[in-house]
Structure 1
Amino acid sequence: MGWLDWMSGAKAPKEGVTPAVATDLHKALLAVNRSSAPFIVREENTGSADLIAEWKIVDAGWYEIFGRAHLTKVARVLLRLDEIQKEVRSCDEIWSVEWHTGVPNLSASGEYFRGQQTSIEFGAGYAFTEELQYGQVYRYRFSTKELKSPLQDIVSNHGWRWRPVAFGKL
């Protein structure tokens, strides 16, 4: 892997691994889903991508956590599997989030980005606890790396290359 690959976020296939068929890789990417993860990988049927990985910001079990963190941007990663090249092309979408009475409202009108980006939102909240002690009541960190890294590892471990795409078609 060269300097340009490193700078772009590309990840080479794991050495010595025979590339899997696309259907096996597709299933493995969907298998990353679990209720305890703050993101989900889902199939995309509009033709813009094969799969989309995104934060569970509108999931009732998670939006309170995202809202408490005052998250202002969320990322989606569009994935296209290219069986001929044995690569997964990825493109990031960054959306602005507005919170109305604790409920998220995704908005493309204020800000929207498509390409490759690293974004990190972090913070902590301090208040009196149930034991009436002042201290940290929550801490969060949402990073696009936390969203992409598990997916990149799955792709690499299946003998495929992860290739970020900033412009053009996936």
Structure 2
Amino acid sequence: MDTDLRLGQKFLLSTAAILGYMAVWALILLPPALLLSGDAQVIVLAVCGALIFLLYLPWFFWSTNHIWQFKGSGQPISFENLKKEILAINTFDSAVMVTEKNPRHLVVTWKYVDATWFEVFRKAGMTSTYFLHIKFNPEKNAVYLVDRTKTIKWHKGPLGFAKSFSLFSGILMNKLAIGKAWGIRENFSIGKLYDYKFSPEEIKNPVMNTILRSGWNLRFALV
């Protein structure tokens, strides 16, 4: 199936999930709104309103986890080899680096701590930096991706930057691309500075496609 069509269907399903949630609660609220009056109506509607608020995030997490998933192609490679493939980013002369939070959790981001690159980022006007969290589930040959961004301020000094609070943690779906043209070695090994726009998809798409063509299933997560 065409990639744009698949992504379009997932956006439609996400929208339908939200609208469906609202429609179900509208049907639940309709009888008390029509049949009750006075304090009883106020109490019932208040309780339902609280439930709508409390249950929305669990519903959103569940629906997102099931809708935004992609099946890997071919026989899955080993966990060790997939992890090695992603860690290979650190061997390339590129603006991207990988850190290991724990054996099953990697983080890919821009080399904002590298003196060779942070001047480039500063001059490019970068105001936030992107972190792609990669969480492995070797037992299921599955990977969960979480998008995070943090504000960043540039200044003179030994470090040259200061990070601020987290702006976003969840899923960034803009400009996703799935295909043979995208991959870690295809996109990071060249190290062409003039090709970078320093946008999230320049990190996410190569990593995502490398995971999928390694036979591992992929899901987007919110945390």
Interval of TM-score (by shorter of Structure 1 and Structure 2) = 0.7 to 0.9
Confirm or deny that 1:143 pairs with 2:149. no
- In angstroms, what is the RMSD of aligned CA positions? 2.8
Question: Could you state the TM-score of these two structures normalised by the residue count of structure 1?
Answer: 0.73
Runs of 4+ in 1 over 3 A off after TM superposition: 5-11
- Aligned to 1:25, which of 78, 82, 97? 82
SS at 1:141 equivalent: coil
Q: Judge conservation of contact 1:119–1:143 (CA < 8 Å) in 2.
A: no
Residue 4 of structure 1 is matched in structure 2 by: 10
How far apart are 1:97 and its partner, in Å? 0.7
Confirm or deny that 1:42 pairs with 2:48. no
How far apart are 1:31 and its partner, in Å? 1.3
Between the two proteins, the alignment pairs up a number of residues equal to 144
Higher relative contact order (CA 8 A, sep 6+): 1
User: Unaligned regions of 5+ residues in structure 2, if any?
Assistant: 15-66, 176-193
SS at 2:172 equivalent: coil
CA distance in 1, matches of 2:211, 2:127: 29
The structure-2 alpha-carbon separation of the partners of 1:84 and 1:148, relative to structure 1 and needing over 3 Å to count, comes to same
Structure richer in helix, relative to its length = 2
Q: Judge conservation of contact 2:170–2:221 (CA < 8 Å) in 1.
A: yes
Confirm or deny that 1:94 pairs with 2:153. no
Q: Which has the larger radius of gyration?
A: 2
Q: Which segment drifts farther, 59-68 or 111-120?
A: 111-120
How far apart are 1:82 and its partner, in Å? 0.7
Map 1:43-82 onto structure 2 (within 5 A): 43-45=100-102, 50-82=105-137
How far apart are 1:32 and its partner, in Å? 2.6
